[in-house]
Chains A and B, each alone.
Chain A
Amino acid sequence: MDYVIEVKNLGKKYNIKHHSGGYVTLREIITNALKNPLRFLKKKTKEIIGIDTKEEFWALREFNFNVEKGEVIGIIGPNGAGKSTLLKILTGITPPTEGEVRIKGKVASLLEVGTGFHPELTGRENIFLNGAILGMTRKEISQKFNQIVEFSGIEKFIDTPVKHYSSGMHVRLAFSVAAHMEPDILLIDEVLAVGDAEFQEKCLGKMEEVTKGAGRTILFVSHNMGVIQNLCTKTILIEKGKITAMGETGEVVHQYLYKNQGSIAVSEYKIDISKEVQISKISVIGKTDIPQSRIPISDSFFIKVEFEVFRPVKNTSISVLFYSQGERLLFSSDFDKTLKLKDYEPGKYVSTLHVPSYLFNVGDFYFDVFIGEPSIVGYDSKRNIPLEILNTNNPRSPILRGVSVGKIAIILNFDIERLV
């Protein structure tokens, strides 16, 4: 069989120190060494003879798959599963720790749109520079120069320094260069959220052209199950750095949506009887009555909070605060529609919050649960429970070619009457 991408036993290990901490300063190291020379020496010797237990984790491990020419492969999985790391290895940005990848042909990724643009240089100069960084030769760029400029629609400003461009023009030019690379293998991460609507339309058109064009192979990473199901013939599911499913898109997407979610969708907590009230379990329940942390946008779901009361409490409310990614509080919800505070006698309780469909838009969300007497005392709180809204059966998708903007997706009604 003729494969364009062969991945064999690929693995990537991160040193947690490297991965999360970023850089250290020499000053810190020297101060540490001076403050506590003995401990410093001990640590160094341990590191040198290799018995130091470094914190490391495998972002990817034991990856094996092959891609045939012309296949469009979807890559799905929860955040932090290793999807982006895989793309970074395939583009060569970060080297793997073990295994190997064999790639036939030129690889391009839409990660690199606008890479290396220099504000002081003109549009023309930046096309050449950016093209060269993306791996085009000077000859290739000269040949495609007119097409690139025409596609970007900024002929008038081609000899103006890029620093005077609007951000829209900047993106147009950048995308134009990337779109004219004509790679054999294209890696796409997430949706293109760039440029104005008209230009996005143009880009999507170009992408479709690319997809259908002569045997181009595409790896497509997305959270948008609708797009994955439309475009991809095969899909790879990555969870916690491992390939957990691979094959026909429909099946894999189904597995991702409905299986093995118990561990994320249910959070249990240790009981601490010194408190008055203690939350013991929070679960997100899908419409099929099974725990599910990834919910299709068209489904309603439940948030169940189980709690234990050890001493009688008065005027208590349970509230759930929903956040979108980036810590933006969307809204908070008290459980009782009557808006009355309740008194509880010792015992075990469960409270169920019903969240309607089309409340949240597609994306990642978090929620916090609080139990307490409002603005007087908090008995217990649990934070950052994840929730993901998926773009399946989204009636808006075909109309809007993707997702509508914003965090809330309530469908409102327009009453339109003809006046004249």
Chain B
Amino acid sequence: MSKLTIIRPKKTLSIEDLKELWKYKELLYFFTWRDLKVRYKQTVIGVGWAIFQPFVTMVVFSIFFGKLLNTPSDGVPYPIFVFTGLLFWQFFSGALSETSSVLIGNQAIISKVYFPRLILPLSSVVTKVIDFLIAGAILLMMMVYYGYTPGISALFIMPLLLLITFLLSVGGGLFLASINVKYRDVKYALPFFIQILLFLTPVIYPASIVGKFSWLLAINPMTGVIQASRAVLLGTTPLNWITLGASFFISFLIMFIGVLYFKKVERYSIDIL
């Protein structure tokens, strides 16, 4: 017997959505595959770009912030210190800006075929995971070069940190993608917003620099992630379970709000695209 589809007015969020998402997992794969294929075809240096971008950023930051400004780095060499931060930061900011335009960018498809719209932003974040892994490989080499051996806990903590950043990017990205449909000028404000966030996150400096106000930074979930990654990989500070827990909680909350808002806008987004 052929399958039965029931079309009803859209509710905000239900368990059906998750089932449906699972049913369309192959499409998630195809969208990710498309993005990767196109990117590495279009760019002359291909995979090189994924290596080049974080590496050059690290070199420039090391020269200006590390050497010339003597930014403290919790006692580890500045290049490896800043690269650990950049690893997560570039994943987060890249995913955020990519996801924010995903509905508008795929307008032609959305207005013609049905599939769970969540697939699109998810696939852009998954695409960024690949870049993350490539940058991660560079970090491994740098650790070998500087002679750092991560503790065994890194094996468990790093995937957890990736998960937190993933949730946060999906949540923030969904939220931005939704308001971007409604207000098309959001995309102009976004680069500025991301740049400000970079300075509000301890990427180029250690959280300790802020002194007794460092708890303020901890509201930013990326703070917990970056600090924890430095703790387990470089042993800068002991792992702070409380900030890590807070990061996880806030990221989860942001993801939840993002999904809810996205589902709400999804109902009429197609009519205004």
B-contacting residues of A (Cβ < 8 Å)?
14-15, 18-19, 21-27, 29, 89-107, 111-112, 115-116, 118, 120-121, 125, 128-129, 132-135, 137-138, 184
Which residues of chain A are within 8 angstroms of B112 by Cβ–Cβ distance?
93, 111-112, 115
CA distance A135 to B116 in the complex (A): 12
A residues in contact with B26, CB < 8 Å? 132, 137-138
Partner of B115, one of A104, A111, A133: A133
Q: Determine if B37 and A121 form an interchain contact, defined as CB atoms under 8 angstroms apart.
A: yes
> B7 and A95: CB pair below 8 A?
yes
Given contacts A18-B272, A94-B270, contact A89 B7 (CB under 8 A): yes
Question: Does B159 sit within 8 A of A, measured CB to CB?
Answer: no
Given A91-B114, A103-B7, output 10 extra A-B contacts at Cβ < 8 Å: A19-B271, A21-B272, A23-B184, A29-B183, A90-B7, A93-B270, A99-B8, A100-B7, A105-B2, A133-B109
Which residues between 1 and 55 of chain B lie within 8 Å of chain A, taking CB atoms? 1-10, 26-27, 30, 33-34, 37-38, 41-42
> Which of A92, A98, A132 is packed against the most chain B CB atoms within 10 Å?
A132
Choose one: B8, B10, B41, B267; the contact of A120 (CB below 8 Å). Answer: B41
Q: Are A133 and B114 in contact (CB under 8 A)?
A: no
B113 to A184, Cβ gap below 8 A?
Answer: no
Taking a contact as CB atoms under 8 Å apart, the answer to whether B113 and A133 are in contact is: yes
Docked Cα-Cα span, A259 to B104, in Å, equals: 43
| Residues of A contacting B: mostly | mixed
A216 and B185 alpha carbons, distance in the complex (Å): 46
Query: Contact at B113–A112, with CB atoms within 8 Å?
Result: yes
Q: Does B244 contact A (CB under 8 A)?
A: no
Closest beta carbon of chain A to B9's beta carbon, Å:
6
Q: What are the 4 tightest A-B residue pairs by CB atom distance, in nearest-first order? A: A92-B114, A26-B183, A105-B2, A132-B30
A19: chain B residues at CB < 8 Å are 271-272
Separation of A15 and B182 alpha carbons in the complex (Å) = 14
Which residues of A lie under 8 Å from residue B113 when comparing CB positions?
A: 91, 93, 112, 115-116, 133-135
B108 at the interface (CB under 8 A from A): yes
Q: Is the CB of B5 within 8 A of A133?
A: no
B1 neighbours in A (Cβ, 8 Å): 104
Contact assessment for B10 and A93 in the assembled complex, using a CB-CB cutoff below 8 Å: no
- What residue in chain B is nearest A95 (Cβ atoms)? B10
Whether B114 pairs with A93 at a CB distance below 8 angstroms is yes
Complex CA distance for A92 and B209, rounded to whole angstroms:
53
The yes or no answer to B222 lying at the interface (CB within 8 A) is no
B198 located at the interface, meaning its Cβ lies under 8 Å from any Cβ of chain A in the complex: no
Q: Mark B162-179, 1 if CB is under 8 A from A, else 0.
A: 000000000000000001
Give chain B nearest CB distance to A178 CB in angstroms.
Answer: 11
| Among candidates A22, A98, A106, A116, residue contacting B272 with C-beta atoms closer than 8 Å | A22
Residues A25 and B183 in contact, CB atoms below 8 Å apart = yes
Which A residue's beta carbon lies closest to that of B11?
A95
Contact of A100 among B2, B6, B115, B183 (CB under 8 A): B6
Chain B positions 188 through 207: 1 when the CB is less than 8 Å from some CB of chain A, otherwise 0: 01000000000000000000
Chain B residues whose C-beta falls within 8 Å of the C-beta of A111 in the assembled complex: 112
How many Å lie between the Cα of A122 and that of B243 in the bound state? Answer: 48
Can you spell out 14 A-B residue pairs with CB atoms less than 8 angstroms apart?
A15-B271, A19-B271, A24-B183, A26-B185, A26-B189, A92-B7, A95-B10, A95-B267, A102-B6, A104-B3, A111-B112, A121-B38, A129-B34, A132-B30
CB-based contact A25/B4 at 8 Å: no
Residue of A nearest to B1 (CB): A104
Whether B5 lies near A102 (C-beta < 8 A) is: yes
B4 is contacted by which of A24, A102, A121, A138 (Cβ under 8 Å)?
A102
B268 at the interface (CB under 8 A from A): yes
- Give the residues in chain A near B260, CB-CB below 8 Å: none
- A133 and B183 form a contact (CB under 8 A): no
Say yes or no: is B129 at the interface (Cβ < 8 Å to chain A).
Answer: no
B240 contacts chain A at the CB level, 8 A cutoff: no
A89 nearest in chain B by CB position = B7
With the chains together, A137 CA to B27 CA distance in Å? 9
Assembled-state Cα–Cα distance A96/B270 (Å): 12
Bound Cα distance A129, B109 (Å): 12
Q: B256: shortest Cβ distance to chain A, in Å?
A: 22
What residues of chain A lie closer than 8 Å to B33, measured between beta carbons?
A: 129
The reply to whether A14 and B271 contact each other, CB–CB distance below 8 Å, is yes
Q: Which of B2, B9, B37, B109 contacts A104 (CB 8 A)?
A: B2
Complex contacts, B272 vs chain A, CB 8 Å: 18-19, 21-23
Q: Whole-angstrom distance between the alpha carbons of A134 and B115 in the complex?
A: 9
- Structural contact, B9 and A96, CB atoms closer than 8 A: yes
